[in-house]
Amino acid sequence: MSIERIDPASRWSEAVIHNNTVYYTSVPENLEQDAMAQTANALAAIDVLLGRVGSDKSRVLDATIFLADGDDFAAMNTAWDAWVVAGSAPVRCTVQARLMNPQFKVEIKIIAAL
């Protein structure tokens, strides 16, 4: 089985496709905004990447959400609930973690079917 790396760089690839499955981690670009806006921004980036590889958010199998501050859980869920496809919610885990960029309030890692 082949492995396709999307926009590979020396340290990481934008996404990886293997066995009709795409692996991707989204980070927000709107670092001056709150957790809800950062989550919405990261989810929009997921939509773009999934569209680029021929998939969509209804095909997300698994999501891991990393929050810098657990107090942002409700705000993140507000953006998530507006985004997720009813009846197609993936397995999801949310953890509080110290993120490497101190301006990040959220990072979202997904696995999706093509």
Q: 1: pLDDT confidence band, cut at 50, 70 and 90?
A: confident
CATH topology of domain 12-113: 60s Ribosomal Protein L30; Chain: A; (3.30.1330)
Name the pTM for this structure. Answer: 0.96
The string of DSSP codes covering 32-75 is TS-HHHHHHHHHHHHHHHHHHTT--GGGEEEEEEEES-GGGHHH
Residues 60-84: pLDDT tens digits?
A: 999 999 999 999 999 999 999 999 9
Residues 2-33: pLDDT tens digits?
A: 999 999 999 999 999 999 999 999 999 999 99
